[in-house]
Amino acid sequence: AQKITQTQPGMFVQEKEAVTLDCTYDTSDPSYGLFWYKQPSSGEMIFLIYQGSYDQQNATEGRYSLNFQKARKSANLVISASQLGDSAMYFCAMLGVTGANSKLTFGKGITLSVRP
Amino acid sequence: EPEVTQTPSHQVTQMGQEVILRCVPISNHLYFYWYRQILGQKVEFLVSFYNNEISEKSEIFDDQFSVERPDGSNFTLKIRSTKLEDSAMYFCASSEDFGQSGYTFGSGTRLTVV
């Protein structure tokens, strides 16, 4: 079974500063993928970044980067130069593939508030 | 950029009524999914669909739920007899492959059962 753990309470960051959102995972699968999604108050799920378990380099997408530490089973999201629009709920999720099936297992999320 | 479209965005229904949530996945995607998020809780997998049949379903997806791809574009989730605990945000998602290239989620349907 796959498990995603996000234990941080609500996070606060000053505008223009960097923030790290923690995610640890557990799986027995040799191949897996890790996603981060942003969910603003309007409710939609916005894809931010993806890291494959065999990727040699940490993923980056603009201001988002993923600090992937495979041995520690962690996949923390780093947001640089925070903006007010970054205030939202952030979910870490793991992709599991078995045969022809795939599904995402989500963590419970972290609320980020960016202060002006 | 291609997107997954869900309708309606909000639905209020009486307990015991049937509801159909609709989704139009991205046209070249082959894998389709429904997820559910009860207010304030994490997102949960309901069902995956490939090649016109269910490929996997969770224990949440009981006999009250069904999915269908009635034509080449729509993907629907039906709840036959809604219960209060079915109140949640329902997300449709699609992917081109097993998901490595990314899932695209729709903006969700907020279902309220009264």
Across the interface, do A97 and B98 touch by the CB < 8 Å criterion?
yes
- Interface with chain A: mutation pick from B41, B45, B61, highest number of A CBs within 10 Å: B45
More confident residue, A58 or A102: A58
What span, in angstroms and rounded, lies between the C-alpha atoms of A112 and A90?
7
- Interface with chain B: mutation pick from A25, A104, A105, A108, highest number of B CBs within 10 Å: A104
In this complex, the residue of A46, A91, A103 whose CB is nearest that of residue B45 is A103
Which position has the token pair 């509801």? B19
The string of pLDDT tens digits covering residues B56-105 is 999 999 999 999 998 878 999 999 999 999 999 999 999 988 766 678 99
Confidence at residue B86, expressed as pLDDT on a 0 to 100 scale: 97
Which strands form B19-24's sheet, in the order they lie side by side? B5-7, B19-24, B75-79, B65-68
Quote the tokens at residue B43: 């997102």
Q: Of all residues in chain B, what percent carry a pLDDT higher than 90?
A: 75
Closest-CA distance of chain B to residue A99, Å: 10
- Considering chain A, what is the average pLDDT of its residues? 93
Those of residues 57-96 in A touching chain B at CB distance below 8 A are: 91, 93, 95
- For the segment A55-76, the average pLDDT, to the nearest whole number, is 95
Across the interface, do B99 and A101 touch by the CB < 8 Å criterion?
no
Confidence at residue B106, expressed as pLDDT on a 0 to 100 scale: 94
Closest-CA distance of chain B to residue A106, Å: 6
A32 in contact with chain B, both atoms CB, cutoff 8 A: no
Confidence at residue A98, expressed as pLDDT on a 0 to 100 scale: 73
More confident residue, A73 or A99: A73
In this complex, the residue of A44, A52, A108 whose CB is nearest that of residue B100 is A52
- Residue B22 burial (10 A CB sphere; 0-12, 13-18, 19+): middle
At residue B40, does pLDDT exceed 70? Answer: yes
Which position has the token pair 């791809």? B69
In this complex, the residue of B31, B35, B107 whose CB is nearest that of residue A44 is B107
